[in-house]
Amino acid sequence: MNATATARLKTPEAAPPPPPAPPGGPKPPGKASLYAARTKPYPKAVDGRFRRLKWAALWVLLGIYYLTPFLRWDRGPGAPDQAILIDLPARRGYFFMIEIWPQEVYYITGILAMAAIGLFLVTALMGRAWCGYACPQTVWTDLYRWVEHKLEGDRNARIKLDKGPLTFNKIWRKTAKHIVWVIIGALTGGAWILYFNDAPTILPQLFTGEAGEGVYLFVGLLTFTTYTLGGIAQEQVCTYMCPWPRIQAAMLDRESLWVTYREDRGEPRGNPKKAQAEGAPALGDCIDCTLCVQVCPQGIDIRNGPQLECIQCALCVDACDSVMDKIGKPRGLIAYATEANAERRAAGQKERLKLVRPRTVIYSVVLAAIGAVMFSVLLHRGDLELNLIADRNPLYITLADGSIRNGYTLKILNKSGQPRSFEVTATGLDGVQVQLGIDAAGNVVNARADSVKAERVFLVLPADQLGKVADGEVPVTLHVKDKATGQVAEADTSFRGPKS
């Protein structure tokens, strides 16, 4: 999108300053208000291909959200069988066959990076298509408005109800709507909790009062936020709270698809019958029915050009196409289009869709590269890791027989589902001896299945070998070998002693 189109992504205008007071009356305020009062939209129900696509996306995404915690995945005895589980007490996450440990947080970083680049790519291709169809705010707002439509009626009925007096009909409809909204919010928060606990276990506990205080706290918090954002704030979240509308312009170019009103075809707009009766010049295809404005969930007029509030849901396309069908005009007065194609039409050239562009190629390459790196790391991921920390105070100890001892803390991460025995040896310094614990004999460590084993390790260098650390420090490598399989993990460190 070029600078002209970018400039048209405007924020909602502030309320105009009040007119000057008449002579002798109160003086007008010194400054105009910087904030405009909310004009609540009353979206009219519409049917069409994009509305049906939004319904399909809504029910599929909600189905995934609510049903996923109940999927099972057999990981063997002693391991949770929930397919997707964030097990905070055990400090790990389970995603089907993948088990993520705290030391592997880089996987989460990679997923977030891929999500960000993917969003860049979608925006470069189709603007805020994510916002219009898959964003959680959009999904729950659509669900809340569907409830509102069922209980209070369509656009005109809701406007009349809000402006009318406080009657029994108004009270019961408003009360019922908010009760259902709260229930939806509670179901949202309750389903989120299922991802952090075993779903079949925690679900009945939620209703019997046996769940922990933290569970009820988060259910209440998510109930409140879902009800507030999806039911009360609605379009204001997309306009004022979400940062993406203010970032998206950097991702767009002249070839990006955008829900667009074709001014060259629609203008001048007006009622054709009235214009013909008055002998006015021929009008464009837009009959100024304002149906595109009435169905917009953001309450904007797409005919004013690209706007920051637009979430690219294309409901205005469905509305306009239905009107064009009725008056015998071709569809597409409002459609997904590009700025470059508008220029091609004006020049009499053929329109074309250019998906392969420098920015889309760059986004795709970066996305594929991050995915390939993550897949490669995951493919070569082992079930044994070491973490070795040398003592810093003191660096070494001189024993009674003149030998030098260094202390270390060795953590063995056994990711397998079986208990294992490991033999610990050291190389890099001839004559050095491995001792597990101060009084322990031997060099074998036993680690439980799927756990971290912490062990104190001492390296001892006899007095007659001290000349090998004449410089005060020698690099050594600790080897941990699985006695059953022969698998070896290594950790590099240093052995310290007095300088000669």
Contacts from 240-243 at CB under 8 Å and sequence distance 24+?
A: 242/131, 242/137
pTM of the model: 0.79
Q: Other CB atoms closer than 10 Å to residue 273's CB: what's the count? A: 9
Residue with tokens 């918090």: 221
Q: What integer pLDDT is reported at residue 8 of this predicted model? A: 45
Q: What integer pLDDT is reported at residue 385 of this predicted model? A: 86
Q: Is residue 245's pLDDT more than 70?
A: yes
φ, ψ (nearest 5 deg) of residue 437: 75, 160
Q: Looking at residues 3-31, what average pLDDT do you find?
A: 49
CA 310 centroid distance within chain: 20
Q: Looking at residues 381-402, what average pLDDT do you find?
A: 88
Q: What integer pLDDT is reported at residue 31 of this predicted model? A: 64
Instruction: Quickly state the pLDDT bin for 20 (edges 50, 70, 90).
Output: low
Q: Is residue 209's pLDDT more than 80?
A: yes
Rounded to whole angstroms, the Cα distance separating 300 from 311 reads 11
Q: Which residue has the higher pLDDT, 183 or 500?
A: 183
Q: Is residue 13's pLDDT more than 60?
A: no
Q: Is residue 144's pLDDT more than 90?
A: yes
Rounded to whole angstroms, the Cα distance separating 436 from 413 reads 17
Q: Which residue has the higher pLDDT, 185 or 39?
A: 185
Query: Do 128 and 118 touch, CB atoms closer than 8 A?
Result: no
Q: Is residue 173's pLDDT more than 80?
A: yes
Q: What integer pLDDT is reported at residue 269 of this predicted model? A: 86
Rounded to whole angstroms, the Cα distance separating 128 from 310 reads 8
Rounded to whole angstroms, the Cα distance separating 406 from 95 reads 41
Instruction: Quickly state the pLDDT bin for 136 (edges 50, 70, 90).
Output: very high
Output the CA torsion sign for 65, 147, 214, 78.
Answer: negative
CA 499 centroid distance within chain: 56
Q: Looking at residues 219-233, what average pLDDT do you find?
A: 93
Q: Looking at residues 309-319, what average pLDDT do you find?
A: 93
Six-digit token string for 237: 């979240």
Q: What integer pLDDT is reported at residue 1 of this predicted model? A: 47
* Collapsed DSSP state (helix, strand, coil) of residue 99: strand
Q: Is residue 324's pLDDT more than 60?
A: yes
Q: Is residue 7's pLDDT more than 50?
A: no
Rounded to whole angstroms, the Cα distance separating 348 from 304 reads 24
Residue with tokens 């999927």: 71
Rounded to whole angstroms, the Cα distance separating 236 from 250 reads 22
Q: What is the tens place of the pLDDT at every residue in 441-498? A: 678 888 888 888 898 999 998 888 888 888 888 999 999 999 888 889 999 999 998 8
Q: Looking at residues 92-117, what average pLDDT do you find?
A: 88
Q: What is the tens place of the pLDDT at every residue in 414-431? A: 888 788 999 999 998 888
**Mean predicted lDDT score pLDDT of the chain:** 87
φ, ψ (nearest 5 deg) of residue 364: -65, -40
Q: Looking at residues 395-424, what average pLDDT do you find?
A: 89
Q: What percent of the chain has pLDDT over 70?
A: 91
Q: Looking at residues 350-354, what average pLDDT do you find?
A: 89
Q: Is residue 3's pLDDT more than 70?
A: no
Q: What integer pLDDT is reported at residue 29 of this predicted model? A: 55
Q: What integer pLDDT is reported at residue 146 of this predicted model? A: 95
Q: Is residue 292's pLDDT more than 90?
A: yes
Q: What integer pLDDT is reported at residue 128 of this predicted model? A: 87
Cis ω for the linkage preceding 268 (within 30 of 0): yes
Q: What integer pLDDT is reported at residue 2 of this predicted model? A: 46
Cis ω for the linkage preceding 165 (within 30 of 0): no
Q: What integer pLDDT is reported at residue 5 of this predicted model? A: 46
CA angle 291, 294, 295 (to 5 degrees): 90
DSSP string for 382-441: -SEEEEEEE--SSS-EE-TTS-EEEEEEEEEEE-SSS-EEEEEEEESSTT-EEEESSS--
Q: How far does the chain reach from its first CA to its final CA, in angstroms? A: 71
Q: Is residue 171's pLDDT more than 90?
A: yes
Q: What integer pLDDT is reported at residue 51 of this predicted model? A: 95
Of 248, 255, 283, nearest in space to 343 by CA: 255
Q: Is residue 88's pLDDT more than 60?
A: yes
Q: What is the tens place of the pLDDT at every residue in 46-86? A: 999 999 999 999 999 999 999 999 999 988 777 888 999 99
Q: Which residue has the higher pLDDT, 323 or 11?
A: 323
Q: What integer pLDDT is reported at residue 440 of this predicted model? A: 61
Residue with tokens 């006015």: 280
Rounded to whole angstroms, the Cα distance separating 311 from 334 reads 15
**Burial degree of 259 (CB within 10 A; 0-12, 13-18, 19+):** buried
Query: Do 126 and 310 touch, CB atoms closer than 8 A?
Result: no
Query: Do 311 and 298 touch, CB atoms closer than 8 A?
Result: yes
Query: Do 245 and 306 touch, CB atoms closer than 8 A?
Result: no
Indicate the angle between helix axes 49-67 and 136-152, nearest 10 degrees.
Answer: 110
Q: Other CB atoms closer than 10 Å to residue 240's CB: what's the count? A: 14
Q: What integer pLDDT is reported at residue 277 of this predicted model? A: 66
Q: Is residue 22's pLDDT more than 60?
A: no
Query: Do 225 and 288 touch, CB atoms closer than 8 A?
Result: no
* Collapsed DSSP state (helix, strand, coil) of residue 452: strand
